[in-house]
Amino acid sequence: MTLLHTPPDALPADWYGAAPAPIGVDQAFNGYVAATVVHTLDRLGVWDRLAAEPRLDLADFVRSAGPAVRERVVREVMRAAAVCGWLRLEDDGDTAVLTDAGRETLRMRGYFTWAVGGYSDVFSGAARLATGEATFGDTLLRDEAMVALGSGQNDRSFMSTTLDDVLDGIDFRTLADLGSGISARVSRVVGARPGTRGLGLDISGPATELGHRTIAEAGLQDRVRAIRADVLDVCHREAHHDAIAEVDTVMSFFLLHDLLADPATRPHLFTRLREAFPAARTFVLADTMLRPEAEGSATLPVFSLGYELAHALMGVPLHTKETYEDLFAAAGLHPVRTVPFGTPHSWLYVLEAR
């Protein structure tokens, strides 16, 4: 996704909102280790196997995973998952059984793909960022493919149903997905709507490459294209001009805060977006917004702290729901529907251009 940089003084003073109850040292340490276990199980394909069949023979799994896979390491990771309560080991440790807690963790694994897979180097490099030994985007990077994959997993787990409900009320022929990641969302939406076409636009090369694979696996090469491009400059590329000119509906999910990062261009962002897609009359936009200062929650919801800290370290400010709505109005985009969207403090808007 496009990332613009702003100076640290652009970050709001109330960035972290109301303080919840303190997190215990045991929770902090064990949570860190447990998060790596969740991500390891995902990378090994264990969660996918357990989703298909909640009993897993470990020896069979290791054999099917390939000759290079080390059974001892797999068993130790599975044992750690059992200590966390996500699995129950039976038959002297040879069979892993998914628990109810494990089903919930499996459903929410996208958060861990995003954090551990995508941002672990950024989080662990916070001290180097603070001392000037590292610079984000230069000597310190996030894993863009893992960020995109985690977003896709979360979409399938608890956003797709809401999006499908919203899109059922929209008549579109050509749909553009801005910051499309691996093009999973646009492929799913177009695949379910015969006669439609789609574009997946993302500035990340690795994510776009994964997008080509996603589209091919869905058998949609004749209807969906993954394009590596800055979403606001794509209209100036001759190679994509005809495809862009056909877009009547634009959607974007969890990209807007990056596009709003530069205070110089922020007031005109949505006007530029309309200019980039001149035939578009419907915009389906969603983002995670700044946690309200007066929220007063006793505990931190999943994702919020990581989302806020990651973007603070990257120098990308977050904005309130009210700020988004003011910017929409200034660009002549009028909300016709607003619904909560999956992750905490996330909202989905259907806007009409007038």
**What distance, in Å, lies between the first and last C-alpha atoms of the chain?**
27
Q: How many residues does the chain have?
A: 354
Asked if residue 224 has pLDDT above 90, the reply is yes
pLDDT band at 223 (very low <50, low <70, confident <90, very high): very high
**Cα–Cα distance measured from residue 171 to residue 249, given in angstroms and rounded to the nearest whole number:** 9
pLDDT in tens, 298-347: 677 888 889 999 999 999 999 999 999 999 999 999 999 999 998 888 99
Asked if residue 85 has pLDDT above 70, the reply is yes
- Sequential DSSP letters for 274-322: HHHSTT--EEEEEEE-PPPTT---SSPPTTHHHHHHHHHHHT-----HH
> Which H helix or E strand runs over 186?
helix 184-191
Model pLDDT, residue 296: 57
Give me the helix-helix angle, 184-191 and 160-167, nearest 10°: 50
pLDDT in tens, 162-214: 989 999 999 999 999 999 988 988 999 999 999 999 999 998 898 899 999 99
Q: What is the dihedral of CA 247, 253, 259, 260, to 10 degrees?
A: 120
**Cα–Cα distance measured from residue 349 to residue 273, given in angstroms and rounded to the nearest whole number:** 15
